[in-house]
Structure 1
């Protein structure tokens, strides 16, 4: 089974309810189960997207937004989500997240990134481009299409989270 990055859009109240469930349960069951339409599987794209931004010379504020969109922030107390036997991130570190105000800012900055332009900074040869950003092996459908599809999904995910005033929780599973 591959370990991939997962994101979930959740209201603040949902996080509080999960925290309360974990505290009340004898085995720490937080009852984490966000609806499927509010979950995004970014596969292995996060590191590659950040590397494209670095290679293309993306401005630091937008590169930082891309890092935060895929790496979260440790400010939200999410350790209760990583307690066995109910850990949501059994193969990665403690989940991270962004609160609603951080989500709005990240969404605004992601909206200012022109990924097709950034992808032109990569070498034309698919193998050279993959090596430059650290991708091992081939990607079905091509590297650029893979990156563009995942970036667009990430941007739309954050746009919807910002519009709905939701938090975003990130973990590797």
Structure 2
């Protein structure tokens, strides 16, 4: 089973309902099941995107935004999503994290300012494209363009709808 980065756009009300369900259930079942159209599977792209941005020397503000957009924060209480036997993050010591709507809006803005094509072009020009992605074979440009575009669109929609983004590795 491959371990991939998962994201879900949810309202504060949905998260509260899941928390309440976990508190009321004898086994802590939170009934986490966001709609498929509000979920995104980023596969293994987050680390490759970060690596490409580091190689291209993306400024610290935008690099931090990419990291936060793919790592979340621990400011939102998600203990109920991380509790066994119903933990949503199955990978090793991974836990679910989240970004609140204000952070989502800021990440959306900053992601929108990143020129991923220029970054990948820079990595190509430096001859370091083959160093991206541990074990990735071939040119990852299209893969990374597609996943970054999906991430940017996902955050833009979450910001437009004033939603939280919950992240985990599964």
Q: TM-score, normalised by structure 2?
A: 0.95
Alignment-derived partner of residue 81 in structure 2: 81
Alignment-derived partner of residue 109 in structure 2: 108
Contact 1:82 1:90 in 2 (8 A): no
Alignment-derived partner of residue 169 in structure 1: 166
Separation of aligned partners in 1, 2:124 and 2:69: 26
* 1:63-117 CA distance string (max 9 Å, x none): 1100000000010011210111111111141100000000000000000000000
Separation of aligned partners in 1, 2:148 and 2:165: 16
Deviation of 1:124 after TM superposition, in Å, equals: 5.3
Q: Quick one: structure 1 residues 125 and 113, their matched pair in 2 at CA, closer, same or farther if it must change by over 3 Å? A: closer
Alignment-derived partner of residue 160 in structure 1: 157
Alignment-derived partner of residue 28 in structure 2: 28
Deviation of 1:135 after TM superposition, in Å, equals: 2.9
* 1:103-141 CA distance string (max 9 Å, x none): 000000000000000001113598x5132x3431315xx
SS at match of 2:113: coil
Q: Which runs of 5+ in 2 are unaligned?
A: none
Contact 1:9 1:161 in 2 (8 A): yes
Separation of aligned partners in 1, 2:124 and 2:109: 29
Alignment-derived partner of residue 11 in structure 1: 11
Aligned residue pairs: how many? 169
Separation of aligned partners in 2, 1:108 and 1:60: 15
Separation of aligned partners in 2, 1:135 and 1:160: 31
Map 1:88-99 to 2 at 5 A.
Answer: 88-92=88-92, 93-99=94-100
SS at match of 1:90: coil
Root-mean-square deviation (Å)? 1.4
* 1:28-62 CA distance string (max 9 Å, x none): 00000000000000000000101111110111111
Q: Quick one: structure 1 residues 105 and 145, their matched pair in 2 at CA, closer, same or farther if it must change by over 3 Å? A: same
